[in-house]
Amino acid sequence: MDSSQENLDLFADDHESLGQLVDRLDQIPAAELTAKWPKALAELVDVLACELGRSGMAADKALAQARKLALVQAHYMGGRAYYIPTGEHLKAALRDRAIWDEFNGRNIDALARKHGLSVPQTYAVVAIQRQLVRKRMNLDLFDDKS
């Protein structure tokens, strides 16, 4: 059993009852629902709705889904102070993958300029990405799918 399934099992009963409440969220007028929400929760709804909309979801559906997601997060994590990383590592990983995808063997200088890195840094990114691709390929070769 993978860790995400184990996490779901830990919250199964609680999450089922919460899910029933969340499913009724659409029956409450938005202004009435969010009037007393703390500012941080309202901002979370805005961020989630924006991203859901960016992914192609209609604005009204994105906002409704964002409210549900924020409510679930508030249920499980509310009342606790916790640190949310800025995402710089994720952004760097995505940038590095973009460099690898754009790399053709002759464009290191252009990639370095485009991504704001030095040429040696760009070579290092390409080398690391090459290792990651080889590792993935080796794992795929030995992955038992039977």
Q: By mean pLDDT, which of 32-36, 77-81, 99-103, 127-131 is the weakest?
A: 32-36
Highest mean pLDDT among 13-17, 57-61, 84-88: 57-61
* Longest alpha-carbon distance in the chain: 59
Give the domains, in start order, of the chain with CATH numbers: 3-77 (no CATH), 88-142 (1.10.10.60)
Report which DSSP code applies to 26.
G
List the structure tokens of 7.
Answer: 């996490």
pLDDT score of 3? 53
What is the mean pLDDT of the segment spanning 86-110? 94
pTM of the model: 0.57
pLDDT score of 71? 86
Cα dihedral: 39, 44, 47, 48 (round 10): -150
What is the mean pLDDT of the segment spanning 108-120? 97
pLDDT score of 132? 92
Is pLDDT of 104 > 90? yes
